[in-house]
Amino acid sequence: MAEITISVNSRPFQVVCRDGEEAQVTQLAEDFAARVATIKKGNEKAGDSHLMVLTGLMLCNDIRDLKHELVAVRRDMAEASKSRDALSARVDEIEDVLSLALNSAAEKIEAILPDMTNGSQNAPPTQETPNPLG
């Protein structure tokens, strides 16, 4: 275990953390100290305990707001997933309809082609009309 010294409201505190987490804990302490300093600006006469309570309340409020946002994001994701599934089903239906239409058109063309090729081969030769001028 590692032991580091952090500073909050110009007071040093010894904190124990896992080896390798020193930088993360130091960064968290700096964020916490900045929040305490922000609250202190409006409450210069507040003592350390009062500042810590106010900062804790502010952090709890932030956590609550984030939880509400997370619930909203999860709801939006669920709705988007339902919409995506419905859209995918609709695309599948359209593909099926188009496939049937193309197959039907191909069958009709194939049915017409033998008549056209047989008809042009069995047609009597055309006679040229003589040109009266020439």
Number of domains forming the structure of the chain: 1
What single-letter DSSP state applies at residue 130?
Answer: P
pLDDT exceeds 90 at position 22: yes
103 found inside a domain: yes
131 in a domain, yes or no? no
The CA distance from 108 to 92, in Å, is 24
Look up the domain containing 82 and give its range. 2-114
- Give me the pLDDT at residue 125, please: 53
104-120 pLDDT per residue, tens: 999 999 988 876 766 55
Amino acid at 109: I
Q: Would you say residue 125 lies in a domain?
A: no
Report if residue 126 sits inside a domain: no
Render pLDDT for 29-61 as a digit per residue (tens, 0 to 9): 999 999 999 999 988 888 999 999 999 999 999
Q: CB within 8 A of 70, min separation 6: which ones?
A: none
Q: Per the domain annotation, does 129 fall within a domain?
A: no
56 domain residue, yes or no: yes
Domain assignment present for residue 34? The answer is yes
Q: For the chain, give the mean pLDDT.
A: 89
- Rounded distance between C-alpha atoms, residue 121 and residue 113, angstroms: 12
b/e string for 46-58 if b means 16 or more Cβ within 10 A?
Answer: beeeebbebbeee
Q: Is residue 127 part of a domain?
A: no
